[in-house]
């Protein structure tokens, strides 16, 4: 079970994951969708879309790496 304290939020309370987009050498965020079922977003350089599902057996990690 995840701790409520491990979830990062923006000033407006929107939860997010930090992502380093390796091939494009940049950083971005995936924000939680309105349904609370996934974090969604895209690479700020190439625009490739990403989605990370939210589940009971998830991880407490907040930073991830992705290949564009």
Number of domains making up the chain: 1
- Domain range for 12: 4-66
> What is the C-alpha to C-alpha distance for residues 62 and 41, in angstroms, rounded to an integer?
15
Phi/psi for 4 (5° steps) reads -65, -30
Residues linked to residue 11 through DSSP beta bridges, in sequence order: none
CB 41 within 8 A of CB 50: yes
Q: What is the pTM of this model?
A: 0.77
Lowest mean pLDDT among 13-17, 20-24, 47-51: 13-17
Range of weakest confidence among 6-10, 11-15, 27-31, 62-66: 6-10
The mean per-residue pLDDT over the stretch 10-28 comes to 89
């Amino acid at each position: 079970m995840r701790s409520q304290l491990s979830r990062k939020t923006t000033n407006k309370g929107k939860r997010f994951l930090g992502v380093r987009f390796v091939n494009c050498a940049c950083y971005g965020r995936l924000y939680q969708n309105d349904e609370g079922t996934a974090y969604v977003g895209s690479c700020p350089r190439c625009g490739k879309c990403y989605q990370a599902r939210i589940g009971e057996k998830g991880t407490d990690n907040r930073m991830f790496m992705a290949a564009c």
